[in-house]
Amino acid sequence: VSDMFIALQGALTADHDIREEIRKVVQALEQTAREILTLLQGVHQGGGVQHIPKKCQKAREHFGTVRTQMESLKTKFPADQYYRFHEHWRFVLQRLVFLAAFVVYLESETLVTREAVAEILGIEADRERGFHLDIEDYLSGVLTLASELARLAVNSVTAGDYSRPLRIAAFISELDSGFRLLNLKNDSLRKRYDGLKYDVKKIEEVVYDLSIRGLTKEAPVGVGAEK
């Protein structure tokens, strides 16, 4: 019996060591994510939209660090035990998806694909190929993007940019239509999706306010979101 419990203790110690190594890399990823977020928050400030190209370029440089950190994370646990340790990096991965999606939107006003996000982060899109971007993590990040764009719509009006909210409204409308096609069974993701209707309502109120003030001039509001 003692030999059996000694072996069990050895397994527990090994598992603890793996989790500790994962935790260290995740902390580094969280720090990089905070740096990217701080950089991109500048677009909400007065005149910030004028510096979008420069901010996006710097953000992409930070994603180079993310890819290096992801490579390190992949080595910290057995390749076939992704979901055993998934909870350790789930939150930061969703945050990074949001940041990648925000950068792509700011650059082209399109919705980034899961495959493109995986490439930006230096991981796989397909589960069979190892460390990958889970579909639900991708969708959670996209929902965070919607909330950020609702905020950007409001701040754009404050900055005197009256056409951007119209484009954001069209983009979010298509995003909402896309999510309606999904049969979401994950409770956490479903709750996140329920919050999208509030983002839609918030942006619609901004557009309505612009309309009654006569500020919705003839301006292109094409979405450009990938189908």
Q: Using 50, 70 and 90 to split pLDDT, how confident is the model at 221?
A: very low
> To which CATH superfamily is domain 1-213 assigned?
Translin; domain 1 (1.20.58.190)
Domain residue extents for the chain: 1-213
Closest C-alpha among 65, 54, 57, 7 to residue 32? 65
pLDDT in tens, 157-199: 888 889 999 999 999 999 999 999 998 887 888 888 989 999 9
Binding-site residue ranges for Mg(2+): 148
210-222: burial string, b at 16+ Cβ within 10 Å, e else: beeeeebeeeebe
The two tokens of residue 189 are: 């993701």
Binding-site residue ranges: 148
CA distance 60 to 154: 26
Instruction: Tell me which H or E stretch contains 203.
Output: helix 196-212
Q: Is residue 102 a contact partner of residue 61, using CB atoms and an 8 Å limit?
A: no
Instruction: Determine if the pTM surpasses 0.85.
Output: yes
